[in-house]
Amino acid sequence: MENRPMPRLFVVRHGETEWSQQGCVTGRTDIPLTEHGVEQIRQCAPLLVGEGKVIDPKNLCTVFVSPRRRHDNLSFHHASSHKTFHLLFEGHELPHHVLTESCREWDYGDYEGLNPKEIQAIRPGWLIWRDGCPGGESIEQMQARVDSVIEQVREHHRQYFEGTVNTRDVMVVAHGHFNRCLIARWLKFDLFLGTRLNVQTGGVAVLSYNHNNLEEPALNASVIHLNSMLSFGPCLTTCVQIEPAR
The catalytically annotated residue of 16, 39, 82, 105 is 105
The residues near 229 (Cβ < 8 Å, ≥ 6 apart) are 47
The catalytically annotated residue of 14, 156, 175, 177 is 14
* Average pLDDT, integer, range 35-56: 93
pLDDT higher than 50, residue 163: yes
- Annotation says 118 is catalytic: no
pLDDT tens column, 17-33: 888 878 777 888 878 89
Percent of the chain with pLDDT over 70: 84
Question: Which pLDDT value is given to residue 244?
Answer: 33
Question: Which pLDDT value is given to residue 169?
Answer: 97
DSSP state of 28: S
CATH of 8-224, one of 3.40.50.1240, 3.20.20.70, 3.60.20.10, 3.40.50.170: 3.40.50.1240
pLDDT tens column, 180-198: 999 999 999 999 999 999 8
Q: Was 52 annotated as part of a binding site?
A: no
Least confident window among 161-175, 195-209, 219-233: 219-233
Q: Was 100 annotated as part of a binding site?
A: no
Give residue limits of the domains in the chain: 8-224
- Annotation says 97 is catalytic: no
